[in-house]
Structure 1
Amino acid sequence: MSKIITTLILISVTLGMKAQSPIGAWEALTTTETGVQHRNIVIFADYYQVLSVYEVESGKFVHTNGGTWKLDGNVMTEKVEFHTDNAEKVGTQSVFEVKLTDNTIQVVGSDVKFKRIDDSSPGALQGAWLMSGRVRDGKMLQRDTTRSRKTMKILSGTRFQWIAYDTETKEFKGTGGGTYSTEGGVYTENIEFFSRDDSKTGLSLKFDYELIDGNWHHKGLSSKGNPIHEIWSVRE
């Protein structure tokens, strides 16, 4: 067999092999020593991820952490940008092995195995976004997305979570999340947890949305009933 044919076969085999990716949403159910069931959700977007824990029955918020991620083979490297249990972890990096299949992901040495919820589909708004502005009284108020105070929203194909935090002060401000859909220019959030007010759990909020020059315009009423017009930009 000639070298050219051998090379072509190797290229064909390589292209045919699909590298497994964690991008999307994952879920694991765990039970505390007191018998309370927790839902653990991880959302991976390009370069950014978030893990959240909340009670299944009540929706009571328990924990969240996240930041950047990189997967090299089976070695995951994460840099923490926010952490509700230990602010001193903000800015630190952790490296660990994972077992990743098409349908499951598990940290080596952990008993908790996450099952895939989605692979980022259908995901019209899949990715990591930073709030970059608001419109008030017809005027655009821009926000510097490079500053340490951030409001980030991470979406998979079916799930969303927003997180407000400060990487300089290491302060966590708040978070909320659940499932979402996009149909006919309407973005709907179904809230499953809300760190600032557990009573918001179960609310379904509808917003008009539009992508303009790559930016996500988000208009409607907040969970408090106040009119909002937010602008979100893709986080690079």
Structure 2
Amino acid sequence: MKLFLFSILALTVSFTNLKAQSTPEVKGAWQLNQDETKHHLFFQNGFYFHTVQQGNVFVGTNGGLYEIKDNTIITKVLFNSLDSTKVGSKIDYPFSVTTTELVVTAPDGQATFQRVDDGNAPLAGVWHITGRMQDGKLSPIHQTGTRQTYKLLTGTKFQWVAIDPGKKQFSGTGGGSYTFKDGKYVENIEFFSRDNTRVGASLSFDGKLEDRNWHHSGLSSKGDKIYEIWSKIGDN
């Protein structure tokens, strides 16, 4: 099974009375549901992530960089968990958007996504890990080569990915919804590539923003103590 950016199996869509905005804006989280299949689509700070799940089962994910020109989403693929040969390719997707719906034309058809949020929140952005507490000391993380760990947050949704675009490798991902209030960051896991039994779990962390750094501490999904620093990429 191949996963393309907006592939929908046996999907029939309706575009009644859909009017495009004069200034297209796709930033934020979008979702498409069909029976047991759910598509999560996130755009933030020049990055896009697209993930498919069936029930609690992770199906696949892909993503990378994007820009918009002439009502077209122009993408460059950085990872694809089902087809690594797509990494590095550039694919254009004509689209139209309103405040509530996003219609995308892909090589295999069209699909309509419903807006979840507009991508605005204190933590909204794309982050990469730059520091971690080890043996009681905060140590910088210098990722070698082209391996990267990104965490994308929209207004209400999150997804992390561990990838190596240079080697066309995908190591893992997880995501769902989140809240951030009064120094508490809470994740509710909706999909997890390495262990479907994690779906439905809720994890609570202490969080604070200092300049463009997000200090993140608590217990990992395995119960290990963590203290991490994530730095924002680009502008919100």
Q: With structure 1 as the length reference, what TM-score do the two structures score? A: 0.85
Structural mapping, 1:16-165, within 5 Å = 19-31=23-35, 37-56=36-55, 59-108=56-105, 110-121=109-120, 123-144=121-142, 147-165=145-163
Distance 1:160 1:201 in 2: 14
Root-mean-square deviation (CA, aligned residues, Å) is 1.6
User: What secondary structure is seen at the aligned counterpart in 2 of 1:88?
Assistant: helix
Amino acid at match of 1:29: N
CA contact (8 A) 1:20 1:102 kept: no
What are structure 1's unaligned runs of at least 5 residues?
Answer: 1-16, 32-36
d(CA) in 2 for partners of 1:103, 1:91: 31
Stretches of structure 2 that go unaligned for 5 or more consecutive residues are 1-20
Q: How far, CA to CA, are the matches of 1:42 and 1:147 in structure 2?
A: 28
The equivalent of 2:10 in structure 1 is none
SS of the aligned residue for 2:82 comes to coil
Cα pair distance change 1:51/1:193, threshold 3 Å? same
Aligned partner (choices 175, 179, 183) of residue 177 of structure 1: 175
The CA deviation at 1:99 is: 1.6
Q: Partners of 2:197 and 2:93 in 1: how far apart?
A: 37
Between the aligned partners of 1:48 and 1:108, the Cα distance in structure 2 is 19
Q: Max radius of gyration: which structure?
A: 1
In 2: Cα distance, 1:19 partner to 1:208 partner? 38
TM-score with structure 2 setting the length: 0.85
Q: Which moved more, 1:66-75 or 1:131-140?
A: 131-140
Change (3 A) 1:233 1:184: same
How far apart, in 2, do the equivalents of 1:165 and 1:85 lie? 13
Q: Percent identity?
A: 40
Q: Secondary structure of 1:112's partner? A: strand
- With over 3 angstroms needed to count, the CA separation of the structure-2 counterparts of 1:227 and 1:60, relative to structure 1, is same
Q: Number of aligned residue pairs: give it.
A: 212
Higher helix share: 1
Instruction: Tell me if structure 2 keeps the 8 A contact 1:74–1:100.
Output: no
Q: 2:124 and 2:83 mapped to 1: Cα distance?
A: 28
Do 1:207 and 1:221's aligned partners in 2 also have CA atoms closer than 8 Å? yes
